[in-house]
Amino acid sequence: MIFTTKAEYGVRLLVELGRQDVASPVSLKAIAEAENLPLGYLEHVVALLRKAELVESTRGARGGYRLSRPAESITMDEVVIALEGVVAPMDCFVEECDRRVACSHVADGGAGCATRMLWTRVQEAVIDTLRHTTLAELVLFEAANVGQPHPLFSLSSN
Separation of alpha carbons 132 and 128, rounded Å? 6
Q: What is the pLDDT of residues 28-57, one digit of tens each?
A: 999 999 889 999 999 999 999 999 999 999
pLDDT, position 129: 93
- pTM (2 decimals)? 0.79
Q: What is the pLDDT of residues 63-114, one digit of tens each?
A: 899 999 999 999 999 999 999 987 766 666 655 544 455 555 556 655 556 7
What structural domains and CATH numbers belong to the chain? 5-73+134-144 (1.10.10.10), 86-131 (no CATH)
pLDDT, position 105: 57
Taking every pair of Cα atoms in the chain, the longest distance, rounded to a whole number of angstroms, is: 60
CA torsion 113→119→120→125, rounded to 10°? 170
Of 55 and 24, the one with more pLDDT? 55
